[in-house]
Structure 1
Amino acid sequence: MKYIVFAGTLINLFFTFSYIKAVYKGHIQPNKITWLMWSIAPLIATTAAISNGVGLSVLPVFMSGFTPLLVFMISFANKNAYWKLHTGDYVCGLMSIFALAVWYISKNPNYAILFAIISDGFAAFPTIVKAWKYPATEESKAFIGGLILATSSFFAIETWNFSALAFPIYLVGLNILMIYAIEHKIKRV
């Protein structure tokens, strides 16, 4: 059962590449601060979880940092993929960085995971607001893939503790919230 994370990873990559293609073509406009911080926080949480003995179940957390890094990088390839940043975006970005600094000072792997979640949440806020107000600027496919990926981690958890559970639980909730924010106003024909 623990190898389900590999299937979740492949599904996530499929959906993420669809999102990346839409970004490249300028069909959607990702918030660059969100996507950069979405790459940093999970990669830090991955490192902290590994240092605390978490095994294969950390792969979805790693991928939830790696794929946003790809989106962030591709967002520079097409000027139509630009989303104008506002003061609130920068404040959330700074709060996200602050949360990572607090973790760095503590040196505790569980604090690293907690503050990576807080950091990621601050980073997510501008995109949640953007998706809610302007759902056409986002696409739910990447978040559906993220939900599948995050859910797959529960099949690989060997020790049910904070280090193994916290970030995947957060990711499930975040992806559900993003999907709802994007899809709540869209009427499908």
Structure 2
Amino acid sequence: MLKELLSATAIVLTFVIFVPYIRSIHRGHTRPHAFSWVIWALGTLVVFVAQLAAGGGLGAWPIGVSGVITGYVALLAYRKRTDRSIHRSDWVFLAVALAALPSWLFTSNPLWAVVILTGADLAGFGPTFRSAYARPHQERTRFYALAAARNAIVILALEAYSLTTVLFPAAVGVACLLLVAVIVWRRRTLARRAGGNRHDGGDAAQL
């Protein structure tokens, strides 16, 4: 009963996380990087299948739901061209991730598929980390913080614990927390610089 409750909580939290984020994209307040979301959508859905094969049970379903919604965000980011700054490094991250996705087809062991796809998913954070560093106010810290909390609940909801079932949600949760730290740090850094510039300008005006 506890596992069912935790799984349901994680699924509900998934919608709680994504609905405001999607609304923010529609309003133009949030500008996700399409490359990251394409990588995350594909990798999450394949990991969901691998977790089911490894006996993840109810705990895997929040990952599946997240994969479907992530696919929608990727489509939305592409259609709205929310982040037009595509760099060469972004293509490298995308190529690495796409090269890793067929791993499920070449191994009968879901562990290796999850290991490779987790690495691909973490590579997907590359464009978003770069974008968040340059434009920290265009991402939502609350979204990634809640995503980390949701992944912790997902781990608790798993019916079988192994590297295959735990690695993906744990690694992505840590990456989300690191991204939140980068965004908060950059916002504070830019705010201090802006304050210093205003102060310097005021001193210059008094001269």
TM-score (norm 2): 0.82
Identical columns (%) = 20
Using the TM superposition, name which of 82-91 and 99-108 deviates more.
99-108
Whether the 8 Å CA contact 2:48–2:64 is kept in 1: the answer is: yes
Counterparts of 2:155 and 2:122 in 1: how far apart (Å)? Answer: 21
Is this contact kept in 2: 1:64–1:146, CA < 8 A? no
Gaps of 5+ in 2: 192-207
Find the counterpart in structure 2 of residue 137 from structure 1.
Answer: 138
In structure 2, the partner of 1:6 is 8
Aligned to 2:34: 32
Which residue is equivalent to 1:42? 44
Q: 2:69 maps to which residue?
A: 67
Offset of 1:185 from its aligned partner?
A: 2.6
Structure with larger RCO (C-alpha < 8 A, sep 6+): 1
Q: Is the 8 A contact 2:55 2:159 kept in 1?
A: no
**How far apart in 1 are the matches of 2:143 and 2:179?**
10
Q: Secondary structure at the match of 1:75?
A: helix
Q: Which runs of 5+ in 1 are unaligned?
A: none
Distance in 2, matches of 1:16 and 1:184, equals: 24
Structure 1 117/88 Cα, relative in aligned 2: closer, same or farther at 3 Å? same
Q: Which has the higher mean CA deviation after the structures are superposed, 169-178 or 32-41?
A: 169-178
- Alignment check: 8 A CA contact 2:136 2:183 kept: yes
- The more displaced of 104-113 and 92-101 is 104-113
Q: Which amino acid aligns with 1:11?
A: L
Q: 1:102-141 alignment to 2 at 5 Å?
A: 102-141=103-142
Aligned equivalents of 2:91, 2:38: Cα separation in 1: 12
1:185 aligned counterpart, secondary structure: helix
The match for 1:93 is 94
Distance in 2, matches of 1:76 and 1:146, equals: 22
- Asked whether the 8 Å contact 1:19–1:141 carries over to 2, the reply is no
Counterparts of 1:159 and 1:82, CA distance in 2: 39
2:33 counterpart letter in structure 1: N
**Aligned position for 1:153:** 154
Question: RMSD over aligned Cα, in angstroms?
Answer: 1.9
Asked whether the 8 Å contact 1:45–1:113 carries over to 2, the reply is yes
Q: 16, 19, 22: which one pairs with 2:18? A: 16
SS of residue matched to 2:41: helix
The offset of 1:96, in angstroms, is 0.4
Give the TM-score, by structure 1 length. Answer: 0.89
The one-character-per-residue Cα deviations of 1:23-63 (angstroms, maximum 9, x if unpaired) are 11111211101001100101101101112222011123223
CA deviation string 1:83-116 (max 9, x = no partner): 3211111110000011123443223211111111
